[in-house]
Amino acid sequence: MTAKQVIESLHAKGLLSEEEARRLTQEEKARPFSLFYELRLLLYLGIVLLCAGLGTLVYQHLDSLGHQAIVGFISLAMFGTFAYAYFHRKAFSWDEVHASKLEDFSLLASALLFLILEGYVQYQYRLFGERYELATFLPALVFFPCAYIFDHRGVLAMAITALASWLGIKIAPVSLWWTANFSSFSLINTAILLGIALATVGILSEIYQRKKHFTFTYLLFGLNLATVAALVGLFQYSYHVTYAVVVAILALFAVGYARRTQAYQFLLMAVIYGYIAFTYCLSFIPLPTDLDAWLIVLYFIFSGIAVIAFLLNIKRILKN
């Protein structure tokens, strides 16, 4: 309910007088509108564009700038932004630490510059030789401690991505889904185990009160990764029951967590992934030939209506 609807409801019940309702309505209309999230998004976008522009500049002027100059400039920018974040950091605590916005963005810029520098040095000087897995393991080794020391969920997400890349997995769920990046049976199982491990770390963080606000990030990455991997296994291999059970368990866990924390993202994830798995499993049920097409059409019509109704009432479902 909006603030106006709440005031009208209280007035209709006699809990607010006419004058009190009018004053509250006027105060609500005159209240400043917060642009916090919009400005934060613009700052993040600015950092990403700055680093992307720097990368493009380096690529276009390799010959004229000189490799040592490029490495020196990127290193100077990286250490400068990291030094600012380090010397302005708050005291370490296992609870959430609210850092200043400039410190927050300085650390993020430093992490992105580190990736640019590492990629450039590897491309130009073959720092790691042919052992490309080291190029993805090193960011994970650096970003995980930084995420905890500076209490930065953005850097934590980058660390998880680097860890997954080290295992040969592309973490982005949409990319996994459309490109089917799991090329082998062992890689699918590795993705499922990694996702479950990430989710377990998130739950333990909450239980033992160790950066419990990181739980959302761990679960979001972990459950998406494990569930998408299980779906790919369900589609590509003959262990249908095993992978279907994995999807069902993960979906039920996501529903339970969503209802406990009022995090609609996990409820949405559970319904969508569960719907895909359930629909695919229905294809193994033999149907009469004369009713086959009609039943399929009816199923998609009614299930589509049910999904739409769910999306429209997702917040109400969580509260009940």
pLDDT tens-digit map of 299-315: 778 887 887 877 777 66
Which range among 78-92, 120-134, 178-192, 292-306 shows the weakest confidence by mean pLDDT? 178-192
pLDDT (0 to 100) of residue 92? 84
Number of domains in the chain: 2
Same domain, 195 and 298: yes
Same domain, 254 and 216: yes
The neighbour count for residue 160, using CB atoms within 10 Å, is 24
More confident residue, 10 or 284: 284
Same domain, 66 and 178: no
Is 23 inside a domain boundary? Answer: no
pLDDT reading at 125 higher than 80: no
Say if CB 248 and CB 277 are below 8 A apart: yes
pLDDT reading at 246 higher than 90: yes
What digits encode the pLDDT tens for the residues 78-102? 898 899 888 888 888 888 887 777 7
- Region 151-166: mean pLDDT is 87
Same domain, 313 and 174: yes
Is 232 inside a domain boundary? Answer: yes
pLDDT (0 to 100) of residue 249? 94
pLDDT (0 to 100) of residue 171? 44
- State how far the Cα of 52 lies from the Cα of 39, in Å rounded to an integer: 20
Same domain, 171 and 319: yes
pLDDT (0 to 100) of residue 25? 73
pLDDT reading at 177 higher than 50: no
pLDDT confidence tier of residue 182, bands split at 50, 70 and 90: very low
Same domain, 146 and 173: no
pLDDT (0 to 100) of residue 120? 77
- State how far the Cα of 4 lies from the Cα of 166, in Å rounded to an integer: 52
- Region 245-269: mean pLDDT is 88
Same domain, 123 and 224: no
- State how far the Cα of 14 lies from the Cα of 20, in Å rounded to an integer: 11
- Region 28-35: mean pLDDT is 63
Same domain, 79 and 113: yes
- Region 137-166: mean pLDDT is 88
- State how far the Cα of 271 lies from the Cα of 261, in Å rounded to an integer: 17
pLDDT reading at 178 higher than 60: no
Same domain, 183 and 301: yes
Is 247 inside a domain boundary? Answer: yes
pLDDT (0 to 100) of residue 161? 87
Kindly report the backbone phi and psi dihedral angles of residue 92, in degrees, each rounded to the nearest multiple of 5, phi listed first: -65, 140
- State how far the Cα of 239 lies from the Cα of 244, in Å rounded to an integer: 9
More confident residue, 167 or 221: 221
Is 236 inside a domain boundary? Answer: yes
Which range among 45-54, 116-125, 144-153, 271-280 shows the weakest confidence by mean pLDDT? 45-54
- For 300, the domain range is 167-320
